[in-house]
Amino acid sequence: MPQVFAYACDDKTSVFHRTTIEIREPADNEIYFDIQYAGICHSDIHTARGEWGPVHYPLVPGHELVGVVKKVGDKVTKFKAGDKVGVGCMFASCKECEYCKAGEEQFCNNPHAYFTYGTDQNGNPTTGGYAQGFTVREDFACRIPDAIPFETSAPLLCAGITTYSPLKRWQAGPGKKVAVLGMGGLGHMGVQIAAAMGAEVHVISHSRSKEEDGKRLGASYYHATSEPGTLEALRDTFDIILCTVSASDLNYTAYLNMLKPYGVFVDVGLPEEPASINLSALVHGNRVMAGSMIGGIDETQEMLDFCAEHGIHPVIEMIVGEDITEAYNKVTASQVRYRYVIDTATFND
Ligand code: NAP
Ligand code: ZN
């Protein structure tokens, strides 16, 4: 059993410290890889701080992990030692139910998909990406294309697929006006992906502070909600609004009113508090309010290949293990530009 360094927190204060964890040897159908980079998703923060319910502490979060394959089981055909791989939010599912067969492992109902830091099939807690190693079934790992700068690639495994999947499903493309609400880790990927799909992209952000970046990443228009009249001026404008906001104090009714008839407000943000909307904003114009959760493994690979083909990748700030605690505070204060990525080699220091 390889022992590796990892960073864990012990309670809701989400103060991280270095620790040692054991990673299992790969079984016949599994690979073991050295994690090199791990992204910090806002979901890690919601989880570590107990915002989504009870947590198994000590917690080693991280569901955006990339690294290089070290060992493969006897029956592995997809990967060999030296390959660059990534794992996202899931590490297993039944692969037999109707959803798994359709490539939508995230909806597995037999009994459910297993999430990267949660519990395994025996109910034991599992560790995630803030660690130096990971063992996973080969069919839950994706190949990282060479065209994507490796050190930037980790956030694609969650932020990339979580924005690609709804943009594809709701047909962002030429002739469509897409607004990305909130330009954080998910939002800045949503802007790039929607632009690469050919849509006219708008950013709707708190302030003007990200305007230059938004336009550089592919937005044609940028709106700041801190400026009076912004929401009203955008009534009946968009085909799709992709909401990546992590807080629920939004005026959802005003955003629904920004949709054209048949337009879609698709939410990926997961704030802890419930929200309220005025249903008349849905009824007028036959508008749709939808949600979207990550994407399946094949679609995740498709997203990686799409990003490689279009020359897009996350904008990251690289940090060391000792910076994780502070990074959490900066993410919740919307100060990250646009994803923190942990260099796990620094865990040896
Ligand atoms: P993030 O980097 O913190 O970005 C969230 C953005 O929301 C911020 O940059 C900010 O954008 C905006 N925002 C924050 N507080 C706000 C407020 N009070 N009012 C209005 N806007 C606010 O977070 P992330 O990692 O992108 O994740 C975003 C959300 O998606 C989280 O809730 C996360 O748990 C969820 N998530 C869902 C899935 C899924 O499968 N559906 C997957 C991953 C993550 P501006 O500064 O531009 O306003
Ligand atoms: Zn995530």
CA-derived radius of gyration, the chain: 20
- What ligand has the least distance to the C-alpha of 47? 1
- Across-strand partners of 312? none
- Does residue 2 surpass a pLDDT of 90? no
- Does residue 130 surpass a pLDDT of 90? yes
Residues 142-155, mean pLDDT to the nearest whole number: 98
Nearest residue by C-alpha to atom 35 in ligand 1? 269
- Does residue 346 surpass a pLDDT of 90? yes
DSSP helix, strand, coil percent of the chain (3-state; round to 5): 30, 25, 45
Per-residue pLDDT tens for 45-103? 999 999 999 999 999 999 999 999 999 999 999 999 999 999 999 999 999 999 999 99
d(CA 234, CA 227): 13
Residues 215-224, mean pLDDT to the nearest whole number: 98
Nearest residue by C-alpha to atom 7 in ligand 1? 245
Q: Domain ranges for the chain, please list them.
A: 3-158+314-346, 159-291
| Structural fold of domain 3-158+314-346 | Quinone Oxidoreductase; Chain A, domain 1 (3.90.180)
> How many CB atoms within 10 Å of residue 198?
12
* Mean pLDDT, rounded, of the chain: 97
Nearest residue by C-alpha to atom 9 in ligand 1? 184
> How many CB atoms within 10 Å of residue 102?
11
Within 6 Å (CB) of ligand 1, which residues are found? 41-43, 46, 158, 162, 182-187, 205-206, 210, 244-247, 249-250, 268-271, 292-294, 331, 334, 336
Tokens 């709804």 map to which residue? 166
d(CA 142, CA 179): 29
Residue type, 102: A
- Does residue 135 surpass a pLDDT of 90? yes
Residues 229-233, mean pLDDT to the nearest whole number: 96
CA of 186 to the centre of ligand 1 (A): 7
d(CA 319, CA 323): 6
Domains 3-158+314-346 and 159-291 share a fold: no
Judge contact between 88 and 158, C-beta under 8 A. Answer: yes
End-to-end Cα distance, the chain: 22
> How many CB atoms within 10 Å of residue 119?
12
d(CA 201, CA 194): 7
Residues 176-200, mean pLDDT to the nearest whole number: 98
CA of 43 to the centre of ligand 1 (A): 9
Say what the pLDDT of residue 1 is.
Answer: 64
Say what the pLDDT of residue 334 is.
Answer: 93
CATH among 3.30.559.10, 3.40.630.30, 3.40.50.2000, 3.40.50.720 for 159-291: 3.40.50.720
CA of 43 to the centre of ligand 2 (A): 5
Structure tokens of 185?
A: 């880790």
d(CA 280, CA 174): 29
- Report whether the peptide linkage leading into residue 338 is cis, meaning its omega lies within 30 degrees of zero: yes
- Does residue 172 surpass a pLDDT of 90? yes
The CA-CA-CA angle for residues 246, 330, 229, to 5°, reads: 50
Packing angle, helices 185-196 and 297-310, rounded to 10: 70
Alpha helices (H) along the chain: 42-48, 98-101, 159-169, 185-196, 211-216, 230-233, 252-256, 280-283, 297-310, 324-332
- What ligand has the least distance to the C-alpha of 43? 1
| CA 43 centroid distance within chain | 8
- Does residue 249 surpass a pLDDT of 90? no
Judge contact between 336 and 213, C-beta under 8 A. Answer: no
Q: How many residues does the chain have?
A: 349
Structural element, H or E, at residue 261: strand 259-267
Among 12-16, 38-42, 185-189, 273-277, the minimum mean pLDDT is found in 273-277
Q: Which one-letter DSSP state was computed for residue 320? A: -
Nearest partner of 203 among 168, 211, 338, 175, judged by Cα: 211
Residue type, 142: C
Atom of ligand 1 nearest to the CA of 291: 41
Per-residue pLDDT tens for 297-338? 999 999 999 999 999 999 999 999 999 999 999 999 999 999
Ion ligand 2 residues within 5 Å by Cβ = 41, 43, 158
Residues 201-226, mean pLDDT to the nearest whole number: 98
Structure tokens of 180?
A: 């990305």
**Backbone phi, psi, residue 132, to 5°:** -95, 0
Per-residue pLDDT tens for 19-53? 999 999 999 999 999 999 999 999 999 999 999 99
Half-sphere exposure of 277 (CA within 13 A, CB side): 16
- Does residue 253 surpass a pLDDT of 70? yes
Tokens 């809701």 map to which residue? 12
CA of 248 to the centre of ligand 1 (A): 10
Say what the pLDDT of residue 121 is.
Answer: 93
